[in-house]
Structure 1
Amino acid sequence: MPLRLEIKRKFAQRSERVKSVDLHPTEPWILSSLYSGSVCIWDYQSQTMVKSFEVSELPVRSAKFISRKQWVVAGADDMFIRAYNYNTMDKVKVFEAHTDYIRCVAVHPTLPYVLSSSDDMLIKLWDWDKGWMCTQIFEGHSHYVMQVTFNPKDTNTFASASLDRTTKIWSLGSPDPNFTLDGHQKGVNCVDYFTGGDRPYLITGSDDSTAKVWDYQTKSCVQTLEGHTHNISAVCFHPELPIIITGSEDGTVRIWHSTTYRLENTLNYGLERVWAVGYMKGSRRMVIGYDEGTIMIKMGREVPVASMDNSGKIIWAKHNEIQTVNIKAVGAGFEVTDGERLPLAVKELGSCDLYPLLVMADND
């Protein structure tokens, strides 16, 4: 059964080549880093630019929000990492981090850490509470390290994607990789972890035009996604919807079912090559960075699928998470005014592999 996801374009802005995108967790902001050396913050509600600043004369390949500090951190081809206060635009820190282009910066979800990866084949860990000291160097790749990302289910570990055709899994505090995933025919450009449910999965995208889903416990390839006609530059498991998103230099974004791996949709907005995809937990929005600009889309139903029976029990689907409440738990003596929110305890029933689309009524 197809997902029948509604997809609406919510923001479109032409610009120079976008190398990375990020979504702010509380503000309606998109962060874009550009090949021209600039970083821009767009308000997707007002469709206006909030901030724009020159970072370097060379490409800025990665920039991320550090919202708990009200910072932006950026890594550029001049080998420097820069941190800015996004309210005052003041530079918090500028330092030379690598001996070659910086491909990626990744922010630890809770600790004061930033990971950086580079064409010098190294990954470095920086602690901003210690004056941005480099507290660890991870060596092991034999080509450019294109992306690093923390495991949201175990934030002491992270994955790295490299043009040496491998993906490596590391632990903070250990200098050597825990293990290596090797299966692509060409370099690996991107990697992302599965955030929902219990599956210990990650996804990689490669210059061989395929994306691979891996089980990092059994260290085996679960599925290969084929269909793109050029290098895959961005991949993600959507945190709210049961879908995988892949972006490619063929100009398309493909949406796959994350359980059946069936291709659900192909998007082409005519902005040339796709370079980056951004998403955020708790949101159905997705941002795509292209050669010629930035697009934001919103996916999924606005109205939840819900059902109520004669006993007062309501069951509904929040994406593919199933929840329930019992209205009779309020009690007969509770006075309700029209439009008032009832104090009900929501019970989690778990998640389902299918994406609920409708409720079948039982008339018996």
Structure 2
Amino acid sequence: QLQIFNGHTDGICGIEFSPFNGGRYLCSGSWDKTIRLWVLKHPNHYMFSMDIMLVDNDNDNKMNNIGVIGGNGYTICSGSGDKTIRIWDIETAKQFNIFKGHTSYVNSVKYGSSESVNTILSGSDDKSFRLWDIRSGEQIQVFNGHISIVYSVEYPPFVIKNSTSNSNVICSGSFDNTTRFWDIRSNKEELYVIKEMRKKIMEYIVLHLLD
């Protein structure tokens, strides 16, 4: 072990390194209702932490997962048990945008895979998978198809056949034992559904989905 970071007073639900500025920033979200920003400096692993505390004192309002991105200034995206997604300014530790639409806990959030992708993905206990526009603060699409909690969301790093742009493909993982791939331009039907992760399924993905 290189370093122990102490500070949270309850369980940690999500951690994420910022891919920007050499990965010097680590964010952690906790059931203690705070997000902590840790600034790492090599070689001595100097640590600085800053708390971002939710102003709502509702005991059910707990952090579930976080996402991080850099741009003109660093921002943090958090999903919470209060059914919202919030964007925070790291320099001021203040919220500057809030996304509402989910009807239950937000379990996972993910920023676009690059600075040019101004979207956020979210998955929730309400069984939905949603796409949001960071600039307008509006919901772009809601994807329904899972029959249980959506617990993981991602921008796939590969290109799927017959898809003109990799950035159009997103995926969601659920407690219904499926992983589903979607086209952000349509919320009508999944591109692919993976029902189980056995060897044959993985071989199918490699042979048929990747270009």
Equivalence for 1:263: 190
CA contact (8 A) 2:141 2:184 kept: no
Equivalence for 1:100: 10
> Hey, what's the Cα distance between the residues in 2 that align with 1:197 and 1:118?
26
Q: Closer, same or farther in 2 for the Cα pair 1:103/1:154, shift >3 Å?
A: farther
Equivalence for 1:31: none
Q: 1:181 aligns with which of 99, 118, 125?
A: 99
Asked if 1:254 corresponds to 2:168, the answer is no
- Report the number of matched residues: 188
Q: 2:46 aligns with which of 103, 115, 131?
A: 131
Equivalence for 1:74: none
> Hey, what's the Cα distance between the residues in 1 that align with 2:6 and 2:75?
25
Equivalence for 1:39: none
> Hey, what's the Cα distance between the residues in 2 that align with 1:215 and 1:94?
36
Q: Which secondary structure does the structure 2 equivalent of 1:181 belong to?
A: strand
Calculate percent identity across the aligned residue pairs: 24
Report Cα offsets for 1:328-355 as digits up to 9, x if no partner. xxxxxxxxxxxxxxxxxxxxxxxxxxxx
CA contact (8 A) 2:70 2:115 kept: no
Equivalence for 1:212: 130
> Hey, what's the Cα distance between the residues in 2 that align with 1:237 and 1:153?
19
Q: Which secondary structure does the structure 1 equivalent of 2:191 belong to?
A: strand
> Hey, what's the Cα distance between the residues in 1 that align with 2:197 and 2:210?
25
For structure 2, the 5+ residue unaligned runs are: 159-165
CA contact (8 A) 1:121 1:144 kept: yes
CA contact (8 A) 1:103 1:147 kept: yes
Whichever residue aligns with residue 132 of structure 1, its letter is: M
What are the within-5 Å matches in structure 2 for residues 26-37 of structure 1? none
Q: Closer, same or farther in 2 for the Cα pair 1:95/1:196, shift >3 Å?
A: closer
Greater strand content: 1
Q: Which secondary structure does the structure 2 equivalent of 1:254 belong to?
A: strand
> Hey, what's the Cα distance between the residues in 1 that align with 2:71 and 2:174?
27
Whichever residue aligns with residue 191 of structure 2, its letter is: E
What are the within-5 Å matches in structure 2 for residues 1-364 of structure 1? 91-109=1-19, 110-129=22-41, 131-134=46-49, 136-140=50-54, 142=56, 143-151=61-69, 156-195=74-113, 198-240=116-158, 241=166, 242-261=168-187, 262-269=189-196, 298=206, 300-302=209-211
CA contact (8 A) 1:191 1:203 kept: yes
Whichever residue aligns with residue 267 of structure 1, its letter is: I
- Give 1:239 deviation, angstroms: 4.1
Q: Closer, same or farther in 2 for the Cα pair 1:172/1:111, shift >3 Å?
A: farther
CA contact (8 A) 1:122 1:145 kept: yes
CA contact (8 A) 1:244 1:255 kept: yes
CA contact (8 A) 2:129 2:150 kept: yes
CA contact (8 A) 1:205 1:232 kept: yes
- Give 1:198 deviation, angstroms: 4.5
The RMSD of aligned alpha carbons is 2.4
Greater helix content: 2
Greater relative CO, 1 or 2 (CA 8 Å, sep 6+): 1
Q: Closer, same or farther in 2 for the Cα pair 1:141/1:247, shift >3 Å?
A: farther
- Give 1:119 deviation, angstroms: 0.3
> Hey, what's the Cα distance between the residues in 2 that align with 1:263 and 1:153?
31
- Determine which structure has more spread, i.e. the larger CA radius of gyration: 1
